[in-house]
Structure 1
Amino acid sequence: MAQRLSNQAKLKSLFTVTSSAVVLFGGISLYQGNERFYSKVVIPLVQLLDPETAHNLAVKTLKWGLISKQKTEDSNLLQTTILGLQFKNPIGMAAGFDKQGEAVEGLNNIGFSFVEIGSVTPKPQPGNPKPRVFRLPEDGAVINRYGFNSDGHDVVSERLKKLKENKNFNCILGVNLGMNKGTKDAVEDYINGIKKFMDVADYFVINVSSPNTPGLRSLQNKKNLEELLIRINAARKSMGTKQPLLLKLAPDLSDSERQDVVDVILKKNSKIDGLVLCNTTIMRPNLTNSNKKESGGLSGAPLTDISTAMISDMYRRTHGRIPIIGVGGISSGVDVYNKIRAGASLIQLYTSYIYNGPPIVGKIKRELCEILETNGFSSVSDAVGKDSGNR
């Protein structure tokens, strides 16, 4: 009897030690950003959760500092200056991931040189009813119809002010502005956003291209867009703001609509400093997952070629005079390089981060460095627009 109890005790002890070792190994691998551990263990486990819960968990993990910092300095090859700002590398996190400005420092620590938070609306609003996020893993895509769920200007601005008080904080911060659902004056919502965040933002993005807020995309129409930008620029001048102003467009614009946009943004009174190309699409190109029937904006791999083509087109139409941030379906150094050659000066990720986790950031930067070196470029800026006839 005593011997049997001894064996039970030994088995219990072995189980305890083994379990502790597994947890310890998992914790260390997670913290260190082990690529294989993420792809084989972490991501499959996370995808057992519903997409919005997984999204919130990813934001909190970064907010609480549970992901390790990047171990090595970025190569000088990746440094670039655009919009009057110096970037350690051209890779940023797109708007939509850190909507409330909670994970900026964590995202910077894992290797992003800039983070665009939002979209932020003036008043807090819950967004659209749940479920409102859907994975399409076979397509490497996501459909969302969040609908600008936001903590509102006051809460987010206070959060960012505290962040900026940290003397060691050196991340370039973009603030993506949206309008409240049912607002009486959309332009005033954007102006109020600039006024609220002018002390913390390094650049602003006017989001007129989300498909999930009724009436928003109509602001891309020539007459509406010109009125919007004239009023915003007049307000910026009266406030004395120096931050660059960017415009985020939908990939679903027709040829004539794109030209209308260009005609507006090259005028003196309605000019902008940059474009973000592009937002999610309402198109459903060659998808296989059954979630393709869900309404909302599609992001991820199906947008890779669509966004690259739009970058090239708008770079050509603007004669390379308007800096472009490229976003849409980026999961490799090749994707980044193609968008840079098409005309993008900076790049943003989102969906590929969801499917690959933090290791994707370092992987893309390593691959991009190798490609730039192989092709004889001494900087990112040297490759911008190389595939365009404007160079």
Structure 2
Amino acid sequence: MYSLLRRLLFLLPAETAHYFSMNLLRAACGIGPLRRMLARLFGAGRSDLARNAFGLTFRNPVGLGAGFDKNARYLRELDTLGFGFVEIGTVTPKPQEGNPKPRLFRLPKDGALINRMGFNNDGLEVIVARLKAWRDREAAIGNRQSGIGNRQSLSDRSGSAGNTNAAQSSGVEHSRLPIADSRLLIGGNIGKNKATPNEDAWTDYETCFSALHPYVDFFVVNVSSPNTPGLRALQERDALHGILTRLQALNRAVPVPRPILLKIAPDLTATQLDDVVDLALEINLDGLVATNTTISREALQTGSAAVEAIGAGGLSGRPVRERSTEVLRHLATRAGGRLPIIGSGGIFTGPDAQEKLAAGATLTEVWTGFIYEGPLIVRNICRHLAPAGK
């Protein structure tokens, strides 16, 4: 059935189809009985796939990468589809329109996308307000279900309420996340505004970190998108060290630190990958995400003239699967099990996800596969990953 819907959606420009389909799903999820039916139909519906990573419990190991819900508009809908976690963003301090349209392109012969979105997002203030509203609704639902009148938070459980002054002095609010092992976990993917020079990039990352801290479960630092000029230069060791150590200092000043992960490109050399792992271990980073999109155009089935006409941008989907797994395996080997990794890149099916886990990933993340496989992708992957006989 989705193959027919996909053919219709692919008649529309890619970005238009994205918002049309998600707004249609949002309308459906606004009707309580219909949302519950969709959750039963599309959701993973399993309790035997929970994974522990970074000090958090994920209800299943299938997440959705950043760039799909840039502005935290569709959390209820993605929760309904059963994702274990969702990365919102990339979020920048100031709103920005991103690159001129068209900026998202399909390569159906390759099961791929090329995007040069350019960190288009509504900005930190608007996104924080949406996340706060989401947390408030989540807490209200939890209270009705449990009959508890007072909201329980991660900070309440930790018994660290006396450290509020330290949190306020650091610019990061006291943690107010509700507790529920079955809830959708939210990752805050943070970046810098295009106009911010690289030498000042750390200020944008600090600003986003401080404002999002009360409302996300973990952070992903994005220095690997090919669509913001100069951004990938921040993957060099010295630049990374400056950004990550500042974030770690902020994190240590609050009662309940959030896990901080780094998302890297698949185009790094082996030496650069080793530097990333060594730095991550040196500063006690919580994990890595491997990988972002690639600037490579090798071995595509789509004609070279059509690819050249599309122009610049990051390539994702099936063509990046092998390289992302190779990078993941290299990182896992170098880290020797000391650094959890989210495997991302070319995951369409259960075997694709299993390949990432076998290469050393703790969790997996889809994006382009969701576009091509449709709303059953989480359920199908989870069924493949389920323990034998269950």
Query: Which residue pairs with 1:16 in the alignment?
Result: none
Query: Which residue pairs with 2:203 in the alignment?
Result: 188
Equivalences for residues 109-128 of structure 1 within 5 A: 109-128=80-99
The alignment status of 1:54 with 2:17, answered yes or no, reads yes
Secondary structure of 2:388's aligned partner = helix
Q: 1:163 aligns with which of 122, 129, 134?
A: 134
Gaps of 5+ in 2: 30-34, 143-182
Query: Which residue pairs with 1:308 in the alignment?
Result: 325
The alignment status of 1:299 with 2:312, answered yes or no, reads no
Equivalences for residues 122-141 of structure 1 within 5 A: 122-141=93-112
Q: 1:279 aligns with which of 272, 277, 292?
A: 292
Q: 1:324 aligns with which of 320, 341, 366?
A: 341
Q: 1:174 aligns with which of 162, 170, 187?
A: 187
The alignment status of 1:38 with 2:2, answered yes or no, reads yes
Query: Which residue pairs with 1:361 in the alignment?
Result: 378
Distance 1:76 1:171 in 2: 13
Secondary structure of 2:67's aligned partner = coil
Q: Does the CA contact (< 8 Å) of 2:50 and 2:61 recur in 1?
A: yes
Distance 1:253 1:64 in 2: 42
Deviation, 1:73, is 6.1
- The residue identity in structure 2 corresponding to 1:45 is L
Deviations 1:286-312 (A, max 9, x none): 112244222100000011111111111
Deviations 1:234-274 (A, max 9, x none): 2222345511000000000011111111221111xx33101
Deviations 1:310-347 (A, max 9, x none): 11110011111111111100011111111101111111
Deviation, 1:62, is 3.5
Distance 2:47 2:78 in 1: 20
Secondary structure of 1:336's aligned partner = helix
Query: Which residue pairs with 2:179 in the alignment?
Result: none
Q: 1:354 to 1:253 in 2, by over 3 A?
A: same
Deviation, 1:133, is 0.6
Gaps of 5+ in 1: 1-36, 379-391
* Structure 1 length-normalised TM: 0.82
Equivalences for residues 180-329 of structure 1 within 5 A: 180-184=193-197, 185-267=200-282, 270-290=283-303, 291-293=306-308, 294-329=311-346
- The residue identity in structure 1 corresponding to 2:119 is F
Q: 1:301 to 1:229 in 2, by over 3 A?
A: same
Q: Does the CA contact (< 8 Å) of 1:63 and 1:102 recur in 2?
A: no
Computed over aligned residues only, the root mean square deviation of the Cα atoms, in angstroms, reads 1.7
- The residue identity in structure 1 corresponding to 2:276 is V
Equivalences for residues 70-149 of structure 1 within 5 A: 70-71=40-41, 74-149=45-120
Distance 1:313 1:65 in 2: 43
The structure having more radius of gyration, on CA atoms, is: 1
Q: Does the CA contact (< 8 Å) of 1:74 and 1:88 recur in 2?
A: no
Query: Which residue pairs with 2:156 in the alignment?
Result: none
Distance 2:86 2:133 in 1: 16
How many pairs are equivalent?
334
Secondary structure of 2:365's aligned partner = strand
Distance 1:204 1:308 in 2: 22
- The residue identity in structure 2 corresponding to 1:257 is Q
